[in-house]
Amino acid sequence: MAKRCEICGKGPMFGHQISHAHNVNRRVFYPNVHRIRVVESGVVVRKKVCTKCMKAGKVQKA
């Protein structure tokens, strides 16, 4: 499960890339995931966390 937040479960989303001439191609939107050290029940572990979870304070950085 690469490119997926381990806190909220946010993963890749699919949509369209539309050019100026309105040609439509399928594309993938990836969440902004960082691998950080997190304190989890008194133990420091590495987790992949999206920046929205970091900003919202859902994790405590080590």
Q: What is the pLDDT of residues 38-54, one digit of tens each?
A: 999 999 999 999 999 99
Please give the tally of structural domains in the chain.
1
In a domain, 1, yes or no: no
Residue 1: its pLDDT value, please?
A: 59
Q: Which residues, in sequence order, are bridge partners of residue 27?
A: 15
In a domain, 62, yes or no: no
In a domain, 50, yes or no: yes
Would you call 50 helix, strand, or coil by DSSP?
Answer: strand
Query: Of all helices (H) and strands (E), which one includes residue 51?
Result: helix 51-56
* C-alpha dist (Å) from residue 60 to 7, 47, 55: 12, 11, 11
> pLDDT, tens digit, for every residue of 16-38?
999 999 999 999 999 999 999 99
Domain span at residue 36? Answer: 13-56
Residue 40: its pLDDT value, please?
A: 93
Across the chain, mean pLDDT equals 96
Residue 2: its pLDDT value, please?
A: 86
The verdict on pTM exceeding 0.75 is yes
In a domain, 44, yes or no: yes
Residue 24: its pLDDT value, please?
A: 98
